[in-house]
Amino acid sequence: MDGSAVARRITEATAERAAELTRATGVTPCLAAVLVGDDPASVTYVRMKRNRCAKAGIRSRLVELPAETTTAELVATLTELSQDPEVHGILLQHPVGPHIDERAAFEAIAPEKDVDGVTMRSFAAMGFGLPGFASCTPGGIMRLLDAYDVDPTGKRAVVVGRSAILGKPVGMMLLARDATVTYCHSRTVGLSEIVREADILVAAVGRPEFIKGEDIKPGAVVLDAGYNAGNVGDVDFAGASARARLITPVPGGVGPMTIAVLLEQTVTAAERLTGAVEAPSGA
């Protein structure tokens, strides 16, 4: 599954919407990225996202905070950005330092600017099928399934991982599309046997090649949301490719889709906040 190609199409459409918004209102969509500390991977991710913003006609604002920033200081920064009318979307690059209450920081982001889909309100909206912004990686996964005409209805979907911004929401999205969903995690007994039953497998555990090729059901669709050192995903790509009907590579699969959805949702937020389009009821 060529996530780079699908993401490129989404970003091109997003750029057209951003340009139209600017022509109509004089407002350029703006995404504020908050980076705490100088973790090399986080710095790289933020740089990549800012470069994609420029290509999509989205203004990016980088807010760099020292590693010793406290929870209260981070919350204050995010609250200020939430109240800034020139900012339409807010991204807190995570993980933050272990001394910071990450959930408290996420909840300081105004729901209408939560274009990364990390707040509890966004999570509830995903669970109840209400208007709101999707967590970007799960949203990207669902868009990939649609792009390749994979209908989850009636399928057995297995999600390996239960994080609040990836594993849990993607399972809820699959459930909303009438898949039968099983969550697996570090305490799961008989993981290989469960994985072998998956028509759709989402790997989001953060361990290189944790899912073995021989455990992939023949004809399954495999979405590898992992990214580990050495450009290695959570799935044994070579082994899984021999059995799967469709599979995402790492890199070039889920990753580009995550950024594409982030940019798309930023423009959507800008359209709603400027009144260019009406926000759906409950958003």
Among all residues, which ones are annotated catalytic?
49, 93, 116
CA atoms of 128 and 248, how far apart (whole Å): 28
Tokens of 19: 């340009």
CA atoms of 241 and 252, how far apart (whole Å): 15
Task: List the one residue out of 112, 119, 109 whose CA is nearest residue 75.
Answer: 109
* 3-state percent breakdown (helix, strand, coil) of the chain, nearest 5: 45, 15, 40
CA atoms of 282 and 273, how far apart (whole Å): 14
Q: Across-strand partners of 24?
A: none
* Token pair 């070579």 in the structure block, residue: 238
CA atoms of 222 and 44, how far apart (whole Å): 26
Tokens of 7: 């993401």
